Amino acid sequence: MKKIKSILTLALGLAIAVFIVGCAAGKSTSSETAKVEKKAKEKAYDPRGVWNYSVQTPDTDSYGIMRITGDNGLYAAVMETDQFGTLNVTGFTVVGNAFSGSIEVMGTTANIEGSFDGDSMAGYVNMGADSFPVQGTRKSK
């Protein structure tokens, strides 16, 4: 029962993270959007590779590997988790250094959002009202 609660909490946290990122992106002005697009064109961040990550939950931390593939701003991500097996990240997007997407965990959608900084990433997994910190490092390109 405790494991199911942890899973549901994680999935709920992922869902909230993606929702928050979507809301924040929707509130930008056209001049802000133009500045972001210009900066992205100048030096687009390439997130491809294998990333080790951990998600901090109240009960226990969850670890895994996120594989990011693709090119030219069109990326796909798969998360290999220690508790739930392999999860496809749907709607995975990278804008500048920010990323977002969602996963299905035991029938519940969880959203993930964050940003890359070189070979590091940090963000949140949002699931319902719960939000869990996620952090990681690139293992290989």
pLDDT digits (tens, 9 = 90+) for 19-65: 444 544 555 456 676 665 655 455 789 999 999 999 998 888 999 99
Cα torsion for 5, 77, 21, 126, to the nearest 10°?
0
Q: What is the pLDDT at residue 39?
A: 56
Q: Which pLDDT value is given to residue 40?
A: 47
User: Model-level pTM?
Assistant: 0.69
Q: Is it the case that residue 16 has pLDDT exceeding 60?
A: no
Task: Evaluate whether 10 touches 108 at the Cβ level (below 8 Å).
Answer: no
CA distance 83 to 78: 14
Short-list 116, 117, 119, 114, CA closest to 131: 114
Average pLDDT over residues 65-90: 95
Q: What is the pLDDT of residue 73?
A: 86
Among residues 84, 87, 37, the alpha carbon closest in space to that of 67 is found at: 87
Decide if 121 contacts 136 (C-beta within 8 A): yes
